[in-house]
Amino acid sequence: MARRHPHRRREGGLTMRLILASLFACVVGMLSDGPAFAQYPDKALRMVVPFPPGGPTDLIARVVAVGMAADLGQQVIIDNKGGAGGNVGTEMVAKSKPDGYTLLFGTAATHGINISLYKTLPYHPVKDFELVALVGLAPMALLVPAGQPTNLPDLIAKLKAEPGKASYPSSGNGTTNHLAGELFKTRTGVDILHVPYRGTGPALQDLLAGRHALMFATLGPVMENVRAGQLVPVGLMADKRSTVMPDIPTMKEAGLADFVGGTWNIIAVPAGTPANIVRRLNTSIYKALADPTLGERLKALNVEASEALTPAETKAFVEAEIEKWRKIVTMAGAQVD
């Protein structure tokens, strides 16, 4: 019987060892791509909202969290950490463990404006985060309570006739409604005092009580007040009218051109979160946003759900917004220590 050449046996053994080594490397690579690759998530997720309960960011986050939970098979618990224009909660997430279980529901303030508005910021909106997905966009409106002029020229004339006597509230220093108010002052020449609050809810309460002359806010939290006649939207800071409340004129129609602005929301996780987890969250977010029921709930909050963006596209969006708001901050001359 013919005998096999010993070199062939060694070559065959070497080939098999190489194949096994390659397979082992692939398995290790999959496992090293993130913790519990096939099991994430295996416990509840925490979504930090860097503003108090009851405001627009909180309301939108809770809608999206429900949709994500249904897809992920785990609870997505809202954790409100307000303060410093969103900086407190945002910094907390930036410094959290990058394991995919602590998420941030960021805004145009936390990730677009604050880097230009604050002299020192305890986080970087791009470098300290993996920017998972853009959720949606919502324009602001100029709102006045009962007793104030409901058209823009008359409102401006009244404010100019009483310089320094009127005030406007915001949800905190550095937020979009604060910056909109400062831009309004610059563009119209009115002298009006800014009063910051810890969130939109408390600011609205004092606006409704007549303690302030006006406020800039997204329509979601105030729609019932508008429908009840307690607040009147003078103009919408958008290029076109709202599909939810089409009777509200744009600011251009009201008499102030090139006065467009609002907020948007993103979901982010700490920098260093494994790529497979970032992709899983991105998929979950856009699956939730594609649900018609969730879409209607967001529309009721005057939020236009975003088209699906990759994490890289989300990062590019945020970087562009940082530059846009940098110009607006400079124009308004706003600064927060």
Asked, for residue 15, whether it belongs to a domain, the answer is no
Same domain, 281 and 291: yes
Tell me what pLDDT residue 171 has: 84
- Domain end residue (candidates: 219, 254, 289): 254
Asked, for residue 184, whether it belongs to a domain, the answer is yes
Q: Which residues of the chain have pLDDT under 50?
A: 1-2, 14-15, 18-37
Query: Quick one: 68 exposed, middle or buried, by C-beta within 10 A (0-12, 13-18, 19+)?
Result: buried
Bridge partners of residue 133, in order along the sequence? 267
Residue 335 exposure: Cα atoms within 13 Å on the Cβ side: 5
User: Is the Cα torsion angle 219, 171, 102, 30 positive or negative in sign?
Assistant: positive
Tell me what pLDDT residue 245 has: 84
Asked, for residue 81, whether it belongs to a domain, the answer is yes
- Domain end residue (candidates: 254, 282, 311): 254
Bridge partners of residue 79, in order along the sequence? 48
Same domain, 171 and 275: no
Q: Taking Cα atoms as reference points, which of 112, 120, 85, 118 lies closest to residue 323?
A: 112
- Domain end residue (candidates: 202, 226, 254): 254
Q: What 8-state DSSP symbol labels residue 7?
A: H
Tell me what pLDDT residue 85 has: 84
Tell me what pLDDT residue 12 has: 52
Query: Quick one: 81 exposed, middle or buried, by C-beta within 10 A (0-12, 13-18, 19+)?
Result: middle
Alpha carbon distance 89, 93 (integer Å): 6
Tell me what pLDDT residue 27 has: 43
CATH number of residue 84's parent domain: 3.40.190.150
Q: Taking Cα atoms as reference points, which of 103, 35, 98 lies closest to residue 69?
A: 103
Domain that holds residue 78: 45-137+263-332
Tell me what pLDDT residue 133 has: 98
Q: How crowded is residue 70: how many other Cβ atoms within 10 Å of its Cβ? A: 14
3-state helix, strand, coil in the chain (%, to 5): 45, 20, 35
Q: Taking Cα atoms as reference points, which of 183, 186, 180, 184 lies closest to residue 200?
A: 180
3-state secondary structure of 318: helix
Give 172's contacts (C-beta < 8 A, 6+ positions apart): 51, 82, 83, 84, 85, 86, 178, 196, 197, 198, 199
Tell me what pLDDT residue 301 has: 84
Q: Which two tokens stand for residue 255?
A: 């008499």
CATH number of residue 244's parent domain: 3.40.190.10
Q: Which amino acid makes up residue 16? A: M
Tell me what pLDDT residue 122 has: 96
Alpha carbon distance 48, 336 (integer Å): 23
Same domain, 112 and 155: no
3-state secondary structure of 134: strand
Tell me what pLDDT residue 32 has: 46
Tell me what pLDDT residue 176 has: 85
Contact assessment for residue 251 and residue 183, using Cβ atoms and an 8 Å cutoff: no
Tell me what pLDDT residue 38 has: 57
Tell me what pLDDT residue 28 has: 44
Contact assessment for residue 179 and residue 117, using Cβ atoms and an 8 Å cutoff: yes
